[in-house]
Amino acid sequence: MTDVTRSGARGKVLWHLTMSLDGFIAGPDHAMDWMSGVTLSPGLFEEAVSTTGAILAGRRGYDAWARENPGRASERAYGGAWSGPIFVLTHHPEDAVPDSGVTFLNCDVAEAVETGLAAAAGKNLEIFGADIARQCVVRGLIDEFYVHLVPVMLGEGIRLFDCPGIEPVRWERIHDGDPVQAVDLRYRPATGELPSNRGG
């Protein structure tokens, strides 16, 4: 992962996620176990940890996270390797599981992004999940979309981008080649066990 920090005082609004081949970012009931055992590109995890200044997430993802780590969800970001301010958007903060590392916001998504960017202090604000990210895409608030494809098909779960009726949203690929060239990927059915490496 290169160039994720922007020069100057303001970091990027980075929608950073891992996705299944069939376009899901979580399985049924927010399952994330499909990522385990998948290898990441060398240095990617470490760079994400060092360039992220704050995280903005939504309440559904937070609730799933808090179910597994009640009161300590913030300590588990990036497997516990990252610490920093986490903001969670919700219309009813009063019934959220409290967490000392999490600030609950009930405001417009653009205001939440500004709050997160200020807290990130020049590093990136990472947008977690699909719902908040969809709102950010529609409002033109995302600076960069960074996706890691996991070679698995889930069939159901939370889609990357569910936004019926919208015009196509176009992106340019950040690399040295043609920014609008399609990416070609070839797979075959997997055989054998997954290696027990760290997932995303």
Ligand X SMILES: NC(=O)c1ccc[n+]([C@@H]2O[C@H](COP(=O)([O-])OP(=O)(O)OC[C@H]3O[C@@H](n4cnc5c(N)ncnc54)[C@H](OP(=O)(O)O)[C@@H]3O)[C@@H](O)[C@H]2O)c1
Amino acid at 119: A
188 φ, ψ (degrees, to nearest 5):
-135, 160
17 interacts with ligand X by CB under 6 A: yes
Stretch that binds ligand X, among 36-44, 85-93, 163-171, 181-189 (CB under 6 A): 85-93
For every residue of 55-66, DSSP letters joined together read: EEEEHHHHHHHH
134 φ, ψ (degrees, to nearest 5):
-60, -45
64 interacts with ligand X by CB under 6 A: yes
Nearer to ligand X, 7 or 86 (CB): 86
41 interacts with ligand X by CB under 6 A: no
Cβ 15 vs Cβ 149: under 8 Å? no
Stretch that binds ligand X, among 7-15, 84-92, 115-123, 184-192 (CB under 6 A): 84-92
Nearer to ligand X, 19 or 119 (CB): 19
Q: How far is the CB of 93 from ligand X (least distance, A)?
A: 8
Q: Report, in this order, helix, strand and coil percent for the chain, each rounded to 5.
A: 30, 20, 55
CA-based angle 192:32:174, to the nearest 5? 90
158 interacts with ligand X by CB under 6 A: yes
Three-class secondary structure of residue 25 per DSSP: strand
Q: How far is the CB of 191 from ligand X (least distance, A)?
A: 25
Nearer to ligand X, 162 or 179 (CB): 162
CA-based angle 107:200:86, to the nearest 5? 25
- Contact pick of 1, 13, 25, 120 for ligand X (by CB under 6 A): 25
Positions in the binding site for ligand X (CB under 6 A)? 17-18, 25-26, 30, 32, 57-61, 64, 89-92, 106, 109, 128-132, 135, 158
